[in-house]
Amino acid sequence: MQTDLPISSNHRKAELTVLKLTNTIESIRDATSSPTQSATGGHPGNSDTCPPQSTPSLSSIHAKVPTRTRNTSVIKLGVYQEEIEHQWPTPPEWSWKSRWCLRSAQALQHPEDIGKLMTNWPMVAGYLKELLERLEDPVGEGKGIVEQGDGGFLVEGVGKTGFDVSSKSEPWRRGYFQALMGAAKAAENLEGWLTDRKQRISAPAEYVVGPSNPRPKPMPAGQKKVPREEDCEQASPSPEVFYMKILTTRGFDTRQKLDAALAYADWLDYKGLQDTASDMYNWAMDIAASGSPVDAGKVVDVKTGVLKNDGKALPSENILRVSTALAVYHARHNNLPTALSIFTSVLKARRSLPPPPPGTIMPKLPSLHKSKDPFRYLFDSIKIMLVPVEYPAPLPSGNEPPLRTATSACDEAGLMTYIGEIIYASSSKEKGLAWTRDAVDTAEATMLELGESDRIPRHRCAECLRVGLENWKTMVSRLVAKAEKEEQESIQNAGRSWFGGQKQIEAKSVERKRWEAENLILDDRIRRLWPMIDGESGLEGIAPNSSLFLVFDNLDSRVINADVFVCCVGFLVNGTGIPEVDFDVGESYAGLLPNSPAGNSSLFFWFFPSQNPKAQDEITIWLNGGPGCSSLDGLLQENGPFLWLPGTYKPARNPYSWTNLTNVVYIDQPAGTGFSPGPSTVDDEEGVAAQFKSWFKHFVDTFGLHGHKVYLTGESYAGQYIPYIASAMLDEEDEKYFNVKGIQINDPSINDDSVMIYGMFCMSIDTRVDAYSDNPTAPAVRHLNHYTNVFALNDTFLADVNSRADKCGFNKFLDEALTYPPPKDFPVLPEISSECAIWDDIVAAAYDVNPCFNYYHLTDYCPYLWSEMGFPSLAGGPNNYFNRTDVQKALHVPRTDYSVCGETTIFKNGDQSPPSALGPLPSVIERTNNTIIGHGWLDYLLFLNGSLVTIQNMTWNGAQGFQKPPVEPLYVPYHYGLAELANGNAPEPFTLIAGAGLLGTAHTERGLTFSSVYLAGHGKLRINMSC
């Protein structure tokens, strides 16, 4: 008799089995969805791409791969193809090769369903190109199709019109239609792309080298091939080739032709061909009218799209679709009266639809619900392999009036949202707001009524609810701002009014409070509903032009970054509404998130998702130091998307913005720093790291950044923060939240003040010296001698401090410590006296010569330029930008007396943790093998040589210090911007010459890089941003 294991053991074994099979199935997508790589995606080539050429042949598998691996690969491939066949069924009568092409192309067009972030359009085009060649071959799978007319009709610029496929079966025709529509969508996305037919790669034209483009953009990292113009052809024909083929093919039903007509019209409108787009919408109405069972003229004005709603006849589903599309088209072009008339007529018509007769089975779109439960996923995977695919019945042609179903209310909610936007923008803001409220109520109620099995209807309803909430938030926020402005104006006018001034102020105050109260209630509702929306809406929830506010505000149609799965309405910053900034800063989010599980404390952040597709799986954290200095200093003066440098009157675009390369978030931490409410409750770096980890988990959950690679960077006292935070994150061994891949610390405080500021090197904690005066100053004189022309001190003073440095043993100490490799017996400073406090004397003498001496940046002279960050200055100008009420409102923070480096004491009893170089920094270097320490030569506070001495007495990855001198040149090519570095001998003119050339040094050993910049001071990125 067999003895059973305990239940817990059985369960654990089953769970491990499920996880193994789940991992196997998940890995299929990576192995099959992108067979080859190109400049920006795979390209399957021009022949025999179904299955793709990168799939090994059977003979090569037998020759090179062990039997077990070979069998596993075949199983993986088979499971994956079965899975996507169930989700996107293909006509059963087609050959296996054609079915492979269609299902693979369909899967690639739904990246969120196959574990990808973006569609690989070159792959889609390649699959469908071969599929169409096979289907249109009259002696192959196209047997029975015929050309219309004698040899077919030719249209200039388009080619042959469609075939007569009426003799083919409905599944064949449906699959052919799907292939043509997919090819059209691929063509839209590949406009301006070229394919190098010899190297088999595709890329936008600006990456292709040739006579017409002698200086192409550099290829993305990891792509060694460069497409050549002489070997290139268009990556895809024009979209109209495929749309016109559908519209002229005989055998497609009305719904299919209408799909093509509306998609073609939308593309023409996007291209700015408004007249042609209008003609195509008219053609779409003709198509819908031709299939109507009643005279279309009795139900709709075919010229305007306004439905007549006379109660005698109902419009068909196709007519309703065309009218709605026309309304959106008119709204885009600010023809609001016509758009409003059409929307309201469509809403009335949909509300008049009859319910389905009893016993009616409504057609459903095929969908494969993926459970997050591993046992359910295993069961579904086995079921996929055992249960044959059932090809779905065709959808209705759309010629009949639709019936009222459970999801009809969602369609109405969408129409109400459009109507609310138009009324708000054109006539009555309160009426428009009322329509929007009703739309949200309708969508929410419908979602609650729908069952979990109604995946696609719930998905559509979630979209309506998301857009409604976004619009509602936008409307109320604007009304709050308007009320505040009117209240301020009434206060200013009260002094000039003989009577009634106080009553006017009170009325405006009541108005402001009314909208602020609604804003608070709405925020609470959004927090309550957003988990439900996020679980349904997926990537479609971030599609462009889902709201007409983009049109009314003359904003662009930029797609929100694909990694931000949660559209955080309460945090969204209006990129065109940031005070004083006269350009669109782009997509960003700002506000407060909790930094403790209890939620009783919070940190401020400003998050900028990048438009760089290669940054979709990473997040870079920026921290300023202090302790207690706001990270907005780094944003506004170093690496943010806009700069406001000292002595300037307005912000400017930053060509070196890190957001061009990666997703960046700036955080004010610990509590009590910048916009983060105090008081601080930390005593040491372990407390800082614990609170930051809690905040970061909230941040990752809020923006859906799970599993992203994490990079931490900052400057000054962040050299203390970052190693401790990175170490605490790495200790968690949780890549879902804390997938730390590297750190960078600039002009960092990584050792005792006596080492970094005054130069004494004490690796023993017990000998730390905390006072800022009467301390030895080893590097101070050597740095002074390097910049005697900047200090402009007299020869007598220079001779005196050099003599004192020799007597104190500083020069000998530096000569011995700064050797490569370091000596086995590392030197220690000799006994010192007050005569060795040279740094204080040098700074005092420098102030006598230059009253505006700045030890943060040695080359500063009087007068101090005014600073928008609020630093003291001797000249007037804009000051303390972030202390403005309108700026704080734009960033979603309560009214705060902002100071870039506040008076709040972060560590009441001083930071009780050892310096990071004596603590976690060596371990972080070893665990990431990707650490950068950077220094500016013009920094006279935290000395470059102080960091080098620290490094030379630090042990990591099996050795002490650098083995070679860090002297390799840091050369930046001449270029136009951070994202477009050109080669060094490219012709002029360059727009950013000052940021190029030999700028410093960079040296790497065993996972640690040390860089220096000649013309930078404390905050080295402030001057030489190109580094």
User: What pLDDT digit, counting tens, does each position of 153-173 carry?
Assistant: 555 555 677 899 999 999 999
Q: Give the pLDDT score at 667.
A: 97
pTM of the model: 0.51
Q: Give the pLDDT score at 370.
A: 52
**More confident site: 924 or 543:** 924
Q: Give the pLDDT score at 274.
A: 86
Q: Give the pLDDT score at 563.
A: 33
**More confident site: 597 or 373:** 597
Question: Does residue 961 register a pLDDT over 90?
Answer: yes
- In terms of Cβ atoms closer than 10 Å to its own Cβ (0-12, 13-18, 19+), residue 667 is buried
Question: Does residue 675 register a pLDDT over 70?
Answer: yes
Return mean pLDDT, the chain.
78
How long is the chain?
A: 1027
Residue 747: C-alpha distances to residues 17, 36, 624, 845 (Å) = 51, 43, 11, 24
Question: Does residue 831 register a pLDDT over 70?
Answer: no
Highest mean pLDDT among 662-676, 801-815, 822-836: 662-676
Q: Measured between alpha carbons, how far is 669 from 812 in angstroms, rounded to an integer?
A: 40
Q: 878: pLDDT confidence band, cut at 50, 70 and 90?
A: low
Q: 17: pLDDT confidence band, cut at 50, 70 and 90?
A: very low
Q: Give the pLDDT score at 555.
A: 31
Mean local confidence (pLDDT), 841-861:
87
Question: Does residue 785 register a pLDDT over 80?
Answer: yes
| Cβ atoms of residues 640 and 634 within 8 Å | yes
Helix axes 501-537, 455-494, angle to 10 degrees: 160
CA atoms within 13 A on the CB side of 935: 23
Question: Does residue 140 register a pLDDT over 80?
Answer: yes
Q: Give the pLDDT score at 40.
A: 46
Question: Does residue 981 register a pLDDT over 90?
Answer: no
Q: Give the pLDDT score at 430.
A: 83
Q: Give the pLDDT score at 828.
A: 82
Least confident piece of the model among 423-432, 814-823, 1008-1017: 423-432
**More confident site: 48 or 889:** 889
Least confident piece of the model among 361-370, 461-470, 701-710, 914-923: 361-370
- In terms of Cβ atoms closer than 10 Å to its own Cβ (0-12, 13-18, 19+), residue 721 is buried
Q: Give the pLDDT score at 16.
A: 35
Question: Does residue 36 register a pLDDT over 60?
Answer: no
Q: Give the pLDDT score at 972.
A: 79
User: What pLDDT digit, counting tens, does each position of 169-202 carry?
Assistant: 999 999 999 999 999 999 998 988 999 988 888 8
Mean local confidence (pLDDT), 434-444:
87
Q: Measured between alpha carbons, how far is 883 from 880 in angstroms, rounded to an integer?
A: 6
Q: Is 939 a catalytic residue?
A: yes
Q: Give the pLDDT score at 566.
A: 32
Q: Give the pLDDT score at 637.
A: 85
Q: 907: pLDDT confidence band, cut at 50, 70 and 90?
A: confident
Catalytic residue among 113, 253, 752, 939: 939
**More confident site: 534 or 48:** 534
Query: Which two tokens mark 904?
Result: 């709040």
Bridge partners (DSSP) listed for residue 745: 714, 933
User: What pLDDT digit, counting tens, does each position of 494-532 carry?
Assistant: 766 555 567 788 888 888 888 888 888 888 888 888 777
Q: Give the pLDDT score at 454.
A: 61
Mean local confidence (pLDDT), 380-399:
76
Q: Give the pLDDT score at 183.
A: 94
Q: Give the pLDDT score at 409.
A: 84
In this structure, the strands spanning 602-608 and 664-668 are antiparallel
Bridge partners (DSSP) listed for residue 933: 745, 1010
Q: Measured between alpha carbons, how far is 41 from 34 in angstroms, rounded to an integer?
A: 8
Q: Give the pLDDT score at 773.
A: 36
Catalytic residue among 411, 633, 1018, 1026: 1018
Q: Give the pLDDT score at 169.
A: 93
Catalytic residue among 104, 381, 716, 899: 716
Mean local confidence (pLDDT), 642-670:
88
Mean local confidence (pLDDT), 927-932:
96
Highest mean pLDDT among 42-51, 113-122, 731-740, 820-829: 731-740
Longest dimension (CA), the chain: 107
Q: Is the dihedral of CA 98, 104, 110, 113 positive or negative?
A: positive
| Cβ atoms of residues 114 and 108 within 8 Å | yes
- Measured from the Cβ of residue 31, the count of other Cβ atoms closer than 10 Å reads 14
User: What pLDDT digit, counting tens, does each position of 788-814 carry?
Assistant: 888 989 999 999 999 998 888 888 888
Q: Measured between alpha carbons, how far is 115 from 87 in angstroms, rounded to an integer?
A: 14
User: What pLDDT digit, counting tens, does each position of 567-616 carry?
Assistant: 344 687 888 889 999 888 888 899 999 888 766 789 999 999 987 878 88
Question: Does residue 133 register a pLDDT over 70?
Answer: yes
Question: Does residue 73 register a pLDDT over 60?
Answer: no
| Cβ atoms of residues 88 and 103 within 8 Å | yes
Question: Does residue 57 register a pLDDT over 60?
Answer: no
Q: Residue 843, SS3?
A: helix
Mean local confidence (pLDDT), 6-13:
35
Q: Measured between alpha carbons, how far is 94 from 80 in angstroms, rounded to an integer?
A: 19
Q: Name the CA dihedral angle for 298, 299, 304, 306, rounded to a multiple of 10 degrees.
A: 140
Q: Give the pLDDT score at 289.
A: 92
Q: Is 523 a catalytic residue?
A: no
